[in-house]
């Protein structure tokens, strides 16, 4: 078997180093699923507390399906990303409605549940049913990139495909549960993002191509992050009686195309501070950081500004407004 040396070193390391985690000591698919959802974007120590609470309160999938969504959200409080809790509840109901209790065993059925992607489906299929599916979490991507010296970004769709083909050549089809548990733990504890001296004591050194080529510290590779551009907007809120001025954004290549906002000037750099200090926000988008300030002008006569329309304040809600405008209005209303 080509990977037998890799498996024997990896499993010996795992036996000696693995943490005892309750969800790794069970083959109950419901408990494993709960733990996987709770642990997404959550540290193990914090996740443990929630896992214990959930499993004590709703020990079977039928119990969770019968719970009120509000109850589930309340129990979830503090973990953030509430869509995970909503999907958890919805998935429990789907399992019961489809007659899949305690949990589906077919990979395709598991994968079809709300909130379950390839990683979680692979984790449940392998940990609960010992089925030969990989469970590629961030730790596993890193270990695979280093073992096989793959310098392709793993977070693009082409990269993901390549990594899935790569793990396919490594996966232990006889012992997928053990293999997935061991390689995940190995990534979490030994082959960590910053390696220090880890390679010197690593039992997989002889099998590791990145170690042989001196590239381990450089892997895995992510796709280049887009540079974030700073922009400075000064919005002018003119108000006269019950009227104000708004304008539609007309540049199809820019943000908020065809949405309405107060007349605005954009400066290439941070504008000078003014007094009294206006309402100010920073609004972060994926490629841009917008620094916006809103200045209220109570005027006797509305200025003549190209492209603006004059409306009554109460008509504002009839227009599709930019996110930033809504944020400013919200703050102004709370201050009023
Ligand atoms: S030798 Fe270093 S990079 Fe390679 S698997 Fe071991 S810890 Fe990871």
Domains and CATH numbers, the chain: 4-218 (1.10.340.30), 229-335 (3.90.79.10)
The list of the chain residues with pLDDT below 50 reads none
**Distance between Cα 174 and ligand 1 center (Å):** 24
Q: What one-character-per-residue DSSP string does 50-85 give?
A: HHHHHHHH--SHHHHHHS-HHHHHHHHTTS--HHHH
pLDDT given at position 1: 52
Atom of ligand 1 minimally distant from the CA of 202: 6
Q: Whose CA is nearest to atom 3 of ligand 1?
A: 216
| Size (the chain), residues | 336
Residue 279 CB less than 6 A away from ligand 1: no
The CA 120 to ligand 1 mean position distance, Å, reads 25
Q: Quote the crossing angle between the two packed helices 29-39 and 82-97, to the nearest 10°.
A: 160
211 lines ligand 1 (CB under 6 A): yes
* Interval between CA 186 and ligand 1 midpoint (Å): 9
Distance of alpha carbon 10 from alpha carbon 6, whole angstroms: 6
**Closest Cα to atom 4, ligand 1: which residue?**
208
Structure tokens at 235: 């919005």
What does the CA dihedral 185, 191, 193, 194 come to, rounded to 10 degrees? 130
E strand intervals along 120-269: 229-240, 243-248, 260-261, 264-267
Which residue's C-alpha comes closest to atom 8 of ligand 1? 191
**Phi, psi (rounded to 5 degrees) for 120:** -65, -40
- The structure's pTM equals 0.72
Q: Decide: 205 in ligand 1 pocket, CB within 6 A.
A: yes
In the prediction, which pLDDT does 257 show? 78
Ligand 1 mean position, distance from CA 151 (Å):
15
The answer to whether the bond into 102 is cis (omega within 30° of 0) is yes
Using the mean position of ligand 1's atoms as its centre, give its distance from the Cα of residue 98 in Å. 44
Residue 226 CA, ligand 1 centroid: distance in Å:
29
CA dist., res. 151 & res. 169, Å (int) = 17
Active-site residues, by number, are 36
pLDDT of res. 282: 92
Cβ of 192 below 6 Å from ligand 1? no
Kindly give the number of the ligand 1 atom that is closest to the alpha carbon of 190: 7
Q: Whose CA is nearest to atom 2 of ligand 1?
A: 199
Give backbone dihedrals phi and psi of 135, rounded to 5 degrees, phi first: -125, 95
CB 14 within 8 A of CB 186: yes
Does the beta carbon of 208 lie inside 6 Å of ligand 1?
A: yes
pLDDT at residue 156, rounded to an integer: 94
Nearest by Cα to 202 from 216, 192, 212, 191:
191
236 alpha carbon to ligand 1 midpoint, in Å?
Answer: 57
Q: Which helix (H) or strand (E) holds 284?
A: strand 279-284
Ligand 1 atom index nearest CA of 208: 4
| Phi, psi angle pair for 59, to nearest 5° | -70, -20
Residues 63-72: tens digit of each pLDDT: 999 999 888 9
Binding site membership of 331 for ligand 1 (Cβ less than 6 Å): no
- Using a 6 Å cutoff on CB, does residue 135 contact ligand 1? no
Residue 216: CB within 6 Å of ligand 1?
A: yes
Residue 191 beta carbon below 6 angstroms from any ligand 1 atom: yes
């Amino acid at each position: 078997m080509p990977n037998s040396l890799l498996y024997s070193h990896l499993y010996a390391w795992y036996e000696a180093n693995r943490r005892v985690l309750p969800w790794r000591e069970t083959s109950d698919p419901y408990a494993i699923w709960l733990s996987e959802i709770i642990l997404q974007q959550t540290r193990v120590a914090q996740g443990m507390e929630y896992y214990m609470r959930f499993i004590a309160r709703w020990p079977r999938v039928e119990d969770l399906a019968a719970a009120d969504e509000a109850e589930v959200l309340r129990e979830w409080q503090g973990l953030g990303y509430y869509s995970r809790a909503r999907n958890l509840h919805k998935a429990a109901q789907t399992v019961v409605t489809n007659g899949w209790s305690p949990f589906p065993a077919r990979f395709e059925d598991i994968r079809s549940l709300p909130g379950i992607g390839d990683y979680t489906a692979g984790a449940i299929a392998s940990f609960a049913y010992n089925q030969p599916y990989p469970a590629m979490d961030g730790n596993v991507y890193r270990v695979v990139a280093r073992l096989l010296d793959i310098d392709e970004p793993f977070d693009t769709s082409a990269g993901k495909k390549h990594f899935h083909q790569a793990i396919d050549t490594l996966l232990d089809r006889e012992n997928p549960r053990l293999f997935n548990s061991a390689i995940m733990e190995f990534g979490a504890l030994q082959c960590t993002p910053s390696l220090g001296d880890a390679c010197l004591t690593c039992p997989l050194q002889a099998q590791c191509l990145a170690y042989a080529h001196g590239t381990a510290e450089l892997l895995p590779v992510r796709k280049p992050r887009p540079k974030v551009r700073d922009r400075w907007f000064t919005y002018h809120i003119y108000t006269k009686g019950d009227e104000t001025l708004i304008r539609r954004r007309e540049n199809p290549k820019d943000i908020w195309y065809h949405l309405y906002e107060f007349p605005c000037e954009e400066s290439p750099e941070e504008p000078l501070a003014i007094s009294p200090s206006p309402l100010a926000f920073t609004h972060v988008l994926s490629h841009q950081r917008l620094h916006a300030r809103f200045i209220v002008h109570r005027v006797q006569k509305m200025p003549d500004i190209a492209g603006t329309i004059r409306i009554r304040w109460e008509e504002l809600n009839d227009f599709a407004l930019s996110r930033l405008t809504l944020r400013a209005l919200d703050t102004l209303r709370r201050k009023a």
